[in-house]
Structure formats: structure tokens, C-alpha cells
């Protein structure tokens, strides 16, 4: 939407700028406030500028073709004509820019053509068919896609957000549409990329410890559990791909033990498959997931089956995430400062004992021997994490690790909450773990944020 317009600034390493480069650029802007008046008339348009110098040209076609070549070479692990009858995929770019590149990359990898959501296939900045053009909003954003899938008897929906850096997946299973969350998509991608790690590392057989995966600190701990079992390295970073990609570069350029990064992600459906693009990229994610889907359906399985097999291997992780509106957002500091003054209840919340507290605003972490947080801290962002041990299910007296994070959004008037419980397959499949986690998180929100007192509003849907 035009109200969210802006641009990302990248450095020569292909990553979004980070400290101290951001401050240096800001300083340079302040020092150059007076416009250059020379030759303004020659800069009226790109076409006019092209006539000024042979050094000016449009690099779009070359950049696009090089991108497609690199992505397919590294990530297309099964470049053959797949059985088109095994499944059908509906795709929507949600009135954005993704359709052309996704179409081209599917063709280059010899994947079946997608079925387009015709009403949303062309770019349109007014987004006439969706209230919020963001697949993070859940199934409400995919109503037209579901209708298209029903009409074409398609089992799977792929979706990019308008600028095509995010990627979402939905599947019809047992006559119900299931939209996978970012953590679920990431675990499926992680398993697939791990299986095909030799291809991704250029056909070279590397030791397991020479691979790595990365996730933001508010994302699932499933990849951490996977790393402990499979033997690759796992890193946790602050939220945002400027931090995630920075960690990936450090892994690749480690002088003592350089590693091949297979996957980096954040739970807000942002995925970086390999490091061809050092940012979240919904197009390459669509390619990898399309091959994964084709393979799963060729074996007469569903994506839900594939996800369940990942959980059986690496443990069941159940999440409950959301947000509340805080208007004005400046009130967040007062809310979190009041919580710090109040402290946390000694008996925890809803049967969950607090083991440790991390405060990335203050740079503290009671889990660490020196009391200091490992991740970078910032006093301009409110961010508290509770690590708990929970007892639930009176029948089985099951205990489980729970993590709950509360964070002020850096771009919206919201306070976000992220939570996860690691539990048995029975508790996950019976929904018992989810209901327990939901009750626990609601108790944390009530105590820590005091929504009624602070006039925090829940989203309508």
C-alpha cells in the first residue's frame, strides 16, 4: 500500500545496511543538503539520461536472467518434467510483482505451470480485491485464491506478498484449507534443503558441521532441535534480515570454519534459501517449495503428512503468535517500564514456572552467567522474553519448555507476541498443547501488558 511505501538500502555485500553504515549515510545526507543545480534538465527522465552517456543503461533484463540462472542452478535439485497430474498449484502475487518471475522460474526448472488467480495476477497499487494485501493476515487474504483452487480442483495455493519477498502456502486436506504458518513452512524447507545439501554446496560432500541454518529469535526453536540431531550449526539473530543476512555472511566468511548456509528465516513468512539473495526472497522460496510439493504428491502424500514426518524426526513445536494495537506507539515504553518496575510473579503463569528473563532493551539475560544478553540490545526497542517450564495435562502431568516474547513493532503501532511450546506428538495432535499455550500466553499478556488499562486493541479478525 502507498502508505507503506519506502525503500530498502543495501550495501556492496548485498545485505541491507546495518550499523555503523546507516549512521554514516545519514551523516553524509545532513552534510549535503544543498541540491546540485547543474544539468537538472538532462535528468528529467531515464530516456533522456540514456542519451547523455553510453554508460547509462537499463540492467533489468540482465539482472533478471542472471538471477534466474543462479537460483535454478543452485536450488533446482530435480530439473525434470514432473508429473503434472500428481497435483495442481494455484498462485497469486496479490496484485504485486511476483507473477512474471515465478512463471519464468517455474518454466526454467521444468515445473508444471501454476493456475493464476486472474483477478490478482497483474500489478495494481490499489489492491482492489483484498482489504489487506498481506498473506500474513491469514486465510482472509486468500479467499479469491481458495475460490480459484476449488474451481480448478487444485490442492495447493502459493502466495507472494505484493513485493514478492514473502511466501505463503495453503493446502486443502480432508476438505479443509490449512494455511501453514511461517515456522511450519520453514521446517519443511529445512528438511528438504538438508536432504539435498550436497547439491546446494556444489556437489561437494561436506561434513555436517560445515552447514548452517539461521532463524530470528522470535521464530521456532525447531531448527535448533534439528541442528542438535543432524549436527549442523544453528544461529539465532535479532528480528529482521539485516541481522539474519549479516549472520549468514559471517558463517560463509569464517576464516577458521566457513560454512554453507542452507536456510535462514523469520516467522513472518520470510525465507532465504541459500545465500544467492541476501535477503528474504519469495520467488526462490516458491521454486524450492514447488519442487518439494511435487515430490511429496508424487509419493501420494500431502504437505501436512510431510510436516508431520518432520515433527516426528525433530520434535513437535506448537506456536501461538499475534499482536495488539498500541496507539500511540510511544506508549509502549511506559508499558514495558511499568512491567520492569512491577517484576514477574514468583509462581509464574498458568502452571508455568519462569526459568529466565531476557530483556533486549536493557541488554540483560538471567540465563547467562554474567547476566548480559548475547544478542545485541537497543534501548529504542521494547523486547522481553520469558523462558518457562510448564506442567499441563492433569492426566499425564506432561512438562514442556515454553518461550514467550513480547516486542514492540519497529514499523507499526503494535506490540507483538510470539510463543512456542515443545511437546509430545499426542499433545500436539490433540490440540491440548495449543490450548494450554494459548491460555498461558493470554495470562502473560494480561499481566505484562495490562491491555484494558493501557487501551491496547486486538485486531478485528
Residues listed for the chain: 461
> What span, in angstroms and rounded, lies between the C-alpha atoms of 355 and 363?
18
304 in a domain, yes or no?
Answer: no
Which residues does residue 241 pair with via DSSP β-bridges, in sequence order? none
d(CA 384, CA 219): 14
Beta bridge partners of 171: 156, 178
Q: Are residues 288 and 251 in the same domain?
A: no
pTM for this one?
0.93
Contact (Cβ atoms closer than 8 angstroms) between residue 136 and residue 95: no
In-domain check, residue 456:
no
In a domain, 457, yes or no: no
In terms of domains, do 271 and 404 share one?
no
CATH number of the domain to which 103 belongs? 3.40.120.10
Q: Indicate whether 292 and 170 sit together in one domain.
A: yes
Q: Kindly give, in sequence order, each residue whose CB lies less than 8 Å from that of residue 243, ignoring residues fewer than 6 positions away.
A: 18, 216, 237, 376
Long-range CB contacts (within 8 A, 24+) of 195-204? 196/77, 197/260, 197/262, 199/74, 199/77, 200/74, 200/75, 200/77, 200/260, 200/262, 200/274, 201/260
Note whether 92 and 238 are same-domain residues. Answer: no
Confirm whether 460 is domain-assigned.
no
- If asked whether residues 167 and 251 sit together in one domain, one would say no
Q: The CATH number of the domain where 369 resides is what?
A: 3.30.310
174 and 210 inside one domain: no
Domain membership flag for residue 302: no
What pLDDT score does 222 carry?
98
- Are both 269 and 288 inside the same structural domain? no
427 and 395 assigned to the same domain: yes
Q: Do 68 and 48 sit in the same domain of this protein?
A: no
- For the chain, what is the domain count? 4
Residue 318, H or E segment: strand 316-319
Query: Domain check: are 432 and 349 in the same one?
Result: yes
How is residue 63 written as a grid cell?
539482472
Q: In terms of domains, do 290 and 166 share one?
A: yes
Which of 179, 178, 185, 255 minimizes the C-alpha distance to 215?
A: 185
- Give pLDDT, residue 37: 66
- CA torsion angle 342 348 353 357 (round to 10): -30
Which residue, 262, 297, 332, sits at the end of a domain? 297
Which domain does 119 fall in, by range? 64-184+283-297
Report yes or no on 458 lying in a domain. no
Same structural domain, 321 and 389: yes
pLDDT by residue for the chain (461 residues), tens digit each? Answer: 677 777 889 999 999 998 899 999 999 999 988 877 665 555 566 666 777 778 888 899 999 999 999 999 999 997 555 565 678 999 999 999 999 999 999 999 999 999 999 999 999 999 999 988 989 888 889 999 999 999 999 999 999 999 999 999 999 988 999 999 999 999 999 999 999 999 999 999 999 999 999 999 999 999 999 999 999 999 999 999 999 999 999 999 988 899 999 999 999 999 999 999 999 999 999 999 999 999 999 999 999 999 999 999 999 999 999 999 998 877 899 999 999 999 999 888 988 999 999 999 999 999 999 999 999 999 989 999 999 998 876 555 677 899 999 999 877 889 999 999 998 888 888 888 999 999 999 999 999 999 999 999 998 76
Alpha-carbon torsion (450, 453, 455, 458), positive or negative: positive
**Does a structural domain hold residue 58?**
no
Amino acid at each position: 500500500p502507498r502508505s507503506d511505501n519506502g525503500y530498502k538500502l543495501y550495501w556492496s555485500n548485498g545485505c541491507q545496511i546495518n550499523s555503523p553504515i546507516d549512521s554514516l549515510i545519514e551523516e553524509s545526507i545532513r552534510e549535503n543538503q544543498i541540491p546540485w543545480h547543474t544539468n537538472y534538465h538532462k535528468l528529467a527522465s531515464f530516456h533522456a539520461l540514456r542519451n547523455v552517456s553510453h554508460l547509462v543503461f537499463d540492467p533489468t533484463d540482465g539482472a533478471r536472467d542472471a538471477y534466474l540462472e543462479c537460483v535454478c542452478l543452485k536450488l533446482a535439485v530435480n530439473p525434470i518434467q514432473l508429473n503434472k497430474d500428481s497435483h495442481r498449484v494455484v498462485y497469486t502475487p496479490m496484485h504485486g510483482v511476483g507473477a512474471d518471475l515465478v512463471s519464468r522460474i517455474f518454466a526454467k526448472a521444468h515445473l508444471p505451470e501454476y493456475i493464476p488467480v486472474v483477478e490478482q495476477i497483474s500489478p495494481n497499487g490499489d489492491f482492489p480485491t483484498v482489504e489487506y494485501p498481506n498473506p500474513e493476515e491469514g486465510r482472509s487474504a486468500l479467499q479469491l485464491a481458495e475460490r480459484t483452487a476449488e474451481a480448478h480442483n487444485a490442492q495447493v495455493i502459493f502466495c507472494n506478498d505484493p513485493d514478492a519477498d514473502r511466501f505463503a502456502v495453503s493446502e486443502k486436506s480432508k476438505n479443509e484449507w490449512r494455511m501453514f504458518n511461517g515456522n511450519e513452512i520453514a521446517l519443511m524447507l529445512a528438511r528438504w534443503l538438508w536432504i539435498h545439501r550436497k547439491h546446494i554446496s556444489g556437489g561437494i560432500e561436506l561434513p555436517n558441521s560445515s552447514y548452517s541454518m539461521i532463524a530470528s529469535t522470535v521464530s521456532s526453536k525447531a531448527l535448533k532441535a534439528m541442528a542438535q540431531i543432524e549436527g549442523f550449526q544453528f544461529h539465532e539473530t535479532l528480528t529482521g534480515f539485516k541481522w539474519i543476512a549479516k549472520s549468514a555472511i559471517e558463517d560463509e566468511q569464517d576464516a577458521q570454519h566457513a560454512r554453507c548456509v542452507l536456510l535462514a528465516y523469520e516467522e513472518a513468512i520470510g525465507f532465504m534459501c541459500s545465500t544467492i539473495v541476501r535477503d528474504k526472497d519469495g520467488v526462490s522460496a516458491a521454486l524450492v517449495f514447488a519442487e518439494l510439493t511435487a515430490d511429496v504428491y508424487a509419493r501420494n502424500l500431502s504437505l501436512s503428512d510431510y510436516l508431520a514426518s518432520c515433527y516426528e524426526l525433530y520434535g513437535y513445536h506448537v506456536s501461538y503468535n499475534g499482536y495488539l494495537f498500541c496507539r500511540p506507539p510511544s506508549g509502549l515504553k511506559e508499558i514495558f517500564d511499568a512491567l520492569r518496575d512491577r517484576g514477574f510473579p514468583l509462581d509464574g503463569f498458568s502452571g508455568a514456572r519462569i526459568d529466565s528473563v531476557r530483556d533486549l532493551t536493557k541488554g540483560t539475560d538471567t540465563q547467562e552467567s554474567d547476566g548480559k544478553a548475547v544478542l545485541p540490545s537497543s534501548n529504542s526497542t521494547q523486547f522481553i522474553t520469558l523462558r518457562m517450564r510448564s506442567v499441563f495435562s492433569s492426566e499425564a502431568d506432561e512438562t514442556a519448555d515454553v518461550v514467550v516474547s513480547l516486542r514492540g513493532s519497529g514499523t507499526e503501532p503494535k506490540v507483538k507476541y510470539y510463543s512456542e511450546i515443545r511437546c509430545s506428538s499426542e499433545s500436539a495432535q490433540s490440540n491440548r498443547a495449543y490450548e494450554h499455550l494459548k491460555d498461558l500466553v493470554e495470562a502473560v499478556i494480561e499481566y505484562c501488558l495490562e491491555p484494558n488499562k493501557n487501551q491496547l486493541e486486538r485486531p478485528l479478525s
